[in-house]
Amino acid sequence: MKRIYLLSLGICCLFNTLIQAQNIGINADGSAPDASAQLHIASTSKGLLIPQLTVAQRTAISNPATGLLIYQTNGSAGFYYNNGTAETPDWAFLATYTLQQNINTNGKYISGDGSNTGLYFHSDGSMVGKGEYDPFQHLPDAGGGTKFIWHPYRSAFRAGRFSGTQWDDINLGNFSFATGNNTMADGRDCFAMGNTVMASGIGTVALGSYVSTGFAAGMFIFGDASILNVATISAPDKFVVRASGGFLFYNDAALKSSVYIGSGSNAWSSLSDVNRKENFVPVNGEDFLNRIADFKTTSWNYKGQDTKQFRHYGPMAQEFYSAFGRDKYGTIGNNTTINQADFDGVNLIAIQALEKRRAALYKDNQELIEKNEAEEKLIAALEERIQKLETHLRK
């Protein structure tokens, strides 16, 4: 027995010496191991089984070497390796690897096929998505969900959430943009942003909530949040807004001047609160009437317009500005446009002056009527006296 033990010990020492002296190959055909590998395992029918441990067993390993690999059988099962040191282990899950340092793409693309297409990150922090435009290429359906998509084949961009087929190939317009919730831009050169909005005609824009351009081209539409069903307004080459609360436009940073269309109204209202005004100057209505009398009022059309369709009446801005463009404080309007509120103001001043004329004429007329009535009574009395006198003379 003692001889067998010594013989076995001698063989093991010899085998250990051979292992330390060269690389090892494990295979079924006797082939030599690759010279670059310390351990070369070759098989066409079997794999390598890494030690399998539970979470508790893994964490109980004393001083695990950096790079130690195990397969965890419970919890988040999978391959783990020690990315730390023996003294401070840091077990990293290979299936959900977390970057431990920044990645330098070194001027190369992150590509799906290894070509110079895909994502390119510049050293200044900018990112470029590069691809080839090919409108005849069919794209895989996007499927519902929350996604960020850039389709070079269509030069189309998508970002947000959708629940149906809005971003599938059949609904993807060339050179289109859509973002938000359940938006769709299936026309060429379209833009859609918001909640359940659709831009379908060529060169259309749909913003806001629950609106659609139908298939009208060149249209802009905006929808407020007042309804929860899609309103389709097909108005080619028009600017359309649904604002159930009205329209309010300010044209200065201090919010001192504005125009407004109230809910349900059909005309613009300009800000005219006396508490928001100052530097009042009385005007002479008769003077205004005299100035208006000198206007060369005509019918006309803008240059280049169809004279059979687009004719207008009214004064010229130059005449209006010359007559009413200044007061004691400064200028009013300019010599190329007529402000509607100023135009209405001039009209009201003129109407007031005409009313004063009418009132004066009415007063004069009443006085003449009264005088005429008195004279008629006098004439009647005289006629009566004459008639009596004639009757007396005949006797």
Tokens for 195, please give them.
């909640």
pLDDT digit string (tens) for 303-313?
Answer: 999 999 999 99
Q: Which domain holds residue 117?
A: 103-131
Mean pLDDT, the chain, integer = 89
Considering only residues 263 and 7, tell me which one the structure prediction assigns the higher pLDDT: 263
196 is a domain residue: yes
Least confident of 75-89, 99-113, 196-210, 378-392: 99-113
Its sign, for the CA torsion 65, 68, 70, 75, is: positive
- 94 and 169 part of one domain: no
List CB contacts of 147: < 8 A, sequence separation 6 or more. 158, 159, 160, 161, 162, 167
Asked if the structure places residue 381 within a domain, the reply is no
Distances in Å between the alpha carbon of 143 and those of 123, 140, 162, 319, 320?
Answer: 34, 9, 8, 64, 62
In a domain? residue 108: yes
- Which of 181, 211, 244 terminates a domain? The answer is 244
Q: Which two tokens stand for residue 362?
A: 């009415």
- Is the confidence at residue 10, as pLDDT, over 90? no
For residue 17, name the pLDDT band (cuts at 50, 70, 90). Answer: very low
The answer to whether residue 288 is domain-embedded is: no
Answer whether residue 28 is part of any domain: no
Q: Are residues 147 and 70 in the same domain?
A: no
Q: Say what the pLDDT of residue 160 is.
A: 94
pLDDT for position 97: 63
My answer on whether 223 and 170 are in the same domain is yes
Predicted confidence band of residue 118 (pLDDT cuts 50, 70, 90): confident
Whether residue 52 is predicted with pLDDT greater than 50 in this model: the reply is yes
> So what's the pLDDT on residue 51?
95
Contact present, 171 and 181 (Cβ < 8 Å): no
Residues 74, 123, single domain; the answer is no
DSSP letters, 225-286, are SS-SSPEE---TT-EEEE-TTEEEEE-STTS--EEEEETT--S-EE---GGG--------HH
- Which of 226, 244, 262 terminates a domain? The answer is 244
Identify whether residues 216 and 166 lie together within a single domain.
yes
User: Given this model, what pLDDT does residue 223 score?
Assistant: 95
Q: Do 147 and 167 meet the contact criterion of CB atoms below 8 Å apart?
A: yes
Longest CA pairwise span in the chain (Å): 198
Same domain, 110 and 66: no
pTM value surpassing 0.95: no
* Residue at which a domain ends, from 244, 266, 292: 244
pLDDT-based confidence at residue 156 (cuts at 50, 70, 90): very high
379 is a domain residue: no
Res. 185: pLDDT tops 80: yes
Q: Say which range, 13-27, 147-161, 209-223, 236-250, has the weakest mean pLDDT.
A: 13-27
Number of domains in the chain: 3
Tokens found for residue 395: 């006797």
177 lies in the same domain as 231: yes
Looking at the domain assignment, is residue 124 inside a domain? yes
Percent of the chain's residues with pLDDT above 70: 94
